[in-house]
């Protein structure tokens, strides 16, 4: 639990109305699953973020930086520490010529829409990705043969000691669903995208096509974290899962989607334990049948520190 002294200290950095105690994380993940976080707060600018991270690091309280929660499974027991959400309060988007500057809390889909409105091409693939700019850059989010690594010029971030820094595309060391920031103490605050001039209607048509393909092939009607597994080299995760006979495999309210086997969905009332059980069964059977290890895109949070 977070002590009253810590709460009072946090109120010096972040407005009191932006701090919640025992906040259910089910309301902050696209799985719609997760127990309570001891403390949940939303900084409104980089300075507040710096002060909070510097303080929590100094007193040794664990914290996790959250975007839209689109690739996150929080345990049923919740999180023993502080969740810092960079969301709508840090979501400004600015356009200067072919450059878009977006704060980390801006939804990727909104940035893609803004690019389209200004006749800028390069972000069409991101129009259906449910994450934020910050989370997307950390994971090098991609779809339909597009990746953020191809359009990111610079990333602004702060470390847990409150120091600001800039990372260019090369320094970010982007890879498949990873970056130099992923396993570091850095928190992304702003991303600069470099795009190209294009035809607005052609850009819109491409985005509409991607949206139609998503509706046709993905179980968008159910809560999920999107693609549950990374693509194993030389294979497709969904195809392996289907060929392992796991289409529709279910534990409690969690199920391998009948529509796309690469998705584990919440059919209603699923617990985090249900989802984890489905994921582990899929991994074990695919490994046993095809000798392929499926790694998750989903991040597991709070399992080792449950009550």
Q: Does residue 227 have an active-site annotation?
A: yes
- Catalytic residue among 23, 75, 124, 177, which? 177
* Region of 177 on the Ramachandran plot (φ > 0 left; ψ -120 to 50 alpha; else beta): left
Question: 108: how many CB neighbours lie within 10 A of its CB?
Answer: 28
Q: For 25, list phi and psi in degrees, rounded to 5.
A: -80, -10
Give the H/E segment covering residue 272.
helix 272-290
Q: Does residue 170 have an active-site annotation?
A: no
Q: Does residue 177 have an active-site annotation?
A: yes
- Catalytic residue among 46, 124, 190, 297, which? 297
**Tokens 């607005």, residue?**
200
Contacts of 167 by beta carbon, 8 Å cutoff, 6+ apart? 154, 155, 156, 157, 180, 181, 186
- Catalytic residue among 70, 227, 255, 257, which? 227
For CA atoms 46, 173, 135, 193, give the dihedral sign.
positive
Catalytic residue numbers?
177, 227, 297
């Amino acid at each position: 639990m977070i002590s009253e002294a810590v709460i009072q200290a946090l109120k010096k950095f972040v407005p009191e109305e932006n701090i919640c105690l025992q906040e259910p994380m089910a309301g902050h993940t696209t799985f719609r699953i997760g127990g309570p976080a001891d403390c949940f707060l939303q900084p409104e600018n980089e300075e507040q973020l710096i002060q909070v991270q510097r303080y929590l690091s100094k007193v040794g309280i664990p914290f996790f930086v959250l975007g839209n929660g689109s690739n996150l499974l929080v345990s049923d027991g919740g999180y023993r520490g502080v969740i810092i959400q960079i969301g709508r309060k840090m979501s400004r988007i600015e356009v200067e010529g072919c450059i878009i500057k977006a704060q980390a809390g801006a939804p990727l889909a909104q940035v893609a829409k803004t690019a389209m409105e200004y006749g800028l091409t390069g972000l069409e693939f991101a129009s259906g990705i449910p994450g934020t700019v910050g989370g997307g850059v950390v994971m090098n989010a991609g779809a339909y043969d597009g990746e953020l690594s191809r359009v990111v010029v610079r990333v602004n971030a702060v470390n847990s000691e409150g120091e600001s820094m800039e990372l260019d595309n090369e320094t970010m060391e982007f890879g498949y669903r990873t970056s130099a920031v992923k396993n570091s103490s850095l928190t992304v605050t702003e991303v600069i995208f470099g795009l190209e001039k294009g035809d607005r209607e052609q850009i819109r048509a491409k985005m509409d096509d991607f949206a139609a393909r998503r509706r046709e092939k993905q179980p968008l009607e159910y809560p999920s974290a999107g693609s549950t597994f990374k693509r194993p080299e030389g294979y497709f995760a969904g195809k392996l899962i289907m060929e392992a006979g796991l289409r529709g495999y279910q534990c409690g309210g969690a199920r391998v989607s009948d529509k796309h086997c690469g998705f584990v969905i919440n059919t209603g009332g699923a617990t985090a334990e249900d989802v984890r059980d489905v994921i582990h069964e899929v991994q074990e059977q695919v490994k046993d049948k095809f000798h392929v290890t499926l790694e998750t895109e989903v991040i597991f949070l709070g399992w080792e520190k449950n009550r």
